[in-house]
Amino acid sequence: MKGLGITSVGIAAATWFAASAVAQLDPIVIKGSKFFYKTNGTEFFIRGVAYQQDFSGNGSTTTTTGGTGYTDPLANATNCARDVPLLQGLQTNTIRVYAVDPTQDHSECMQMLTNAGIYVISDLSDPATSINRDTPEWNEAIYERYASVIDAFSNYTNTIGFFAGNEVSNAPNNTAASAFVKAAVRDMKAYIVSKNYRAMGVGYASDDDDTRVELADYFNCGTSAESIDFWGYNIYSWCGQSSYSLSSYEARTEEFSTYNVPAFFAEYGCNKVEPRPFDEVGALFGSDMTPVWSGGIVYMYFQEANDYGLVTIGSDNKATTLQDYENLSTAMAKVSPTGINSASYTPSNSPQACPTTSTWQAATNLPPTPNDAICQCMVQNLTCVAKSGLSEDSITTQFNYICDPAQGNNCGGILANGSTGVYGAFSGCSDSERLSYAFNQYYLNQTATNTQNTSPCDFSGTAQKVTPKLASSCKAVVSQAGSAGTGSITSTPTGGSSSGSGSSPGTTSTSKAAAVILSVPAFDFGILKLAAYVTSAMLVGAGMVLL
């Protein structure tokens, strides 16, 4: 097919809106290491395209829209109407989006995709809220962001699932960060179940570095409650005219032949040779690979500085297809992967063993589930807390001081170590809550052991004394954490306050605090607001005692 000219795109878009809406797509379900259409059991192979403007999967962005640091690709119906027909021209049945804004309305774009038979896999993070490979945390803010994306997309039957991380660990020295990502997988899987959502998968998208085997094994090992539902491989090893064996696709296929959840390419399309011939499409959807792989996602739709685009968007906002688009379209037209029907498929693979090599650092013991209610309880028992409104720099400076072992053992309750698998009971709390905890530990020690210290709660004016007011429902939580903060918390704060205190402003978080799963109302987790949030949590705590 010759490229769709601008005019034909316009017509396609117009007929689009006129077409009667297909209500919903048949959900894609997972059985063993394959995807299937739920209703007829036909195996589903991902013919995917990465679809996000001005965004690199590695977290860097080139422009900012609406203050979120990214452009939500599914929130602008005009753009979706422009692009969906072009995606169809590539026989696309799945798009991958990297950062979506859960506060936006996605219904129009999702309906257009539905009408075109296109499913969605979305990453859960955004550039500002993700698990950092060098300073990994699995905390309230990231949990809340991830859960809100699931909430926003759970109702569309063309949502296949989510990535809880993209290329987080990418070198031997940061493999420990994978413990935090795996905790995110565990908690988001549990979240989907707790909300009674339709079954949707939670997976991980990996780079293709020297720890590839350990990475894949780690995310697949252990109980199914904490391991991934699918593996996405960002793989750029087939460049130009290569072959199944030269590209290392053969070696990768052998490695994944024993994997017990679906594996697919979450990004592919090396551009070292341009225009890209896309010869790898024939291999990926051919008989060598379809028994093991569930297709793949070409990187990417939009032409940008990195030169991976299939389509250029002009300053007039019109789409023009590139040679790569034509080549991919030709390659896609030639393949017709056929698999097995779900009814005649009996999965036989087992989870991989957890990695034990010395290059792999991430512990099998995972960080605790971030829980706002637990953090609020902790803060209620503090006498010395961080002031509200501290700058990020100031918080960092104080952390560096207070957690230096020279100041004593103040931070065991708030630090998390993904290589030893030792996590403080409050390691998932907000920065401000954690700093308050450490200040208070120091304060308690100084007041007990160092009468010379006349200002044990000052820290260059960043701390202040308050009167602790511990709700009765919080006592078990605080005492289980113990005086060093390293105990494991099995009790969940409940208390009778959950419905009774909902009338006055500021108590919303109290009523939600009763839930096992944290459910802070959606708001901007900027560091300043976090500090303000701690203050209001403390006031709420005071209210709870009076009940």
Give the residue closest to ligand NAG by C-beta. 408
Which residues ranging from 330 to 359 are in contact with ligand NAG (CB under 6 A)? 330-331
Query: Cβ of residue 526: shortest distance to ligand NAG, in angstroms?
Result: 23
Binding of ligand NAG by 60 (CB under 6 A): yes
Residue of 317, 338, 357, 391 interacting with ligand NAG (CB under 6 A):
317
Distances in whole angstroms, Cα of residue 167 to Cα of each of 110, 232, 260 = 26, 10, 21
The answer to whether 54 and 71 are in contact (CB under 8 A) is yes
Binding of ligand NAG by 134 (CB under 6 A): yes
User: Which residue, 222 or 487, has its beta carbon nearer to ligand NAG?
Assistant: 487
The span from the CA of 430 to the CA of 493, in Å, is 18
User: Which residue, 306 or 488, has its beta carbon nearer to ligand NAG?
Assistant: 306
Residue 429 is classified by DSSP as S
Residue of 6, 12, 13, 26 interacting with ligand NAG (CB under 6 A):
26
Classify 367 as helix, strand or coil. coil
The CA dihedral of 142, 144, 145, 151, to the nearest 10 degrees, is: 150
267 is catalytic: yes
Ramachandran region of residue 526, left (φ > 0), alpha (ψ -120 to 50) or beta? beta
Classify 464 as helix, strand or coil. strand
Query: Cβ of residue 450: shortest distance to ligand NAG, in angstroms?
Result: 5
Terminal-to-terminal C-alpha distance of the chain:
71
167 is catalytic: yes
The answer to whether 26 and 37 are in contact (CB under 8 A) is yes
**Please, which residues have CB within 8 angstroms of residue 220's CB and are 6 or more apart in sequence?**
227, 228, 231, 259, 260, 261, 351, 352
Binding of ligand NAG by 237 (CB under 6 A): no
The span from the CA of 540 to the CA of 507, in Å, is 6
User: Which residue, 194 or 449, has its beta carbon nearer to ligand NAG?
Assistant: 449
**Please, which residues have CB within 8 angstroms of residue 413's CB and are 6 or more apart in sequence?**
424, 425, 426, 427, 437, 438, 441, 481, 484, 485, 486
Which residues ranging from 256 to 295 are in contact with ligand NAG (CB under 6 A)? 275, 277
Which of 43, 140, 267, 433 is the catalytic position? Answer: 267
| Stretch of residues binding ligand NAG (CB under 6 A), selected from 54-62, 254-262, 367-375, 517-525 | 54-62
* Cβ-based neighbour number of residue 83 at 10 Å: 27
With both helix axes pointing from N to C terminus, report the angle between 431-449 and 527-546 in degrees, rounded to the nearest 10: 60
User: Which residue, 216 or 328, has its beta carbon nearer to ligand NAG?
Assistant: 328
User: Which pair of structure tokens corresponds to residue 528?
Assistant: 């300043």
Binding of ligand NAG by 486 (CB under 6 A): no
Query: Cβ of residue 539: shortest distance to ligand NAG, in angstroms?
Result: 18
Which residues ranging from 498 to 527 are in contact with ligand NAG (CB under 6 A)? none
Residue of 122, 327, 369, 535 interacting with ligand NAG (CB under 6 A):
327
Binding of ligand NAG by 541 (CB under 6 A): no
Query: Cβ of residue 319: shortest distance to ligand NAG, in angstroms?
Result: 11
User: Which residue, 66 or 506, has its beta carbon nearer to ligand NAG?
Assistant: 66
* Identity of the residue numbered 498: S
Which residues ranging from 80 to 119 are in contact with ligand NAG (CB under 6 A)? none
Which residues ranging from 438 to 457 are in contact with ligand NAG (CB under 6 A)? 444-445, 449-450
Binding of ligand NAG by 419 (CB under 6 A): yes
**Please, which residues have CB within 8 angstroms of residue 445's CB and are 6 or more apart in sequence?**
408, 410
Binding of ligand NAG by 365 (CB under 6 A): no
**Catalytic residue annotation:** 167, 267
Q: Binding residues for ligand NAG, per CB under 6 A?
A: 26, 37, 40, 42, 56, 58, 60, 76, 78-79, 134, 155, 171, 173-174, 275, 277, 306, 317, 323, 327, 330-331, 381, 383, 408-409, 417, 419-420, 444-445, 449-450, 475, 478-479
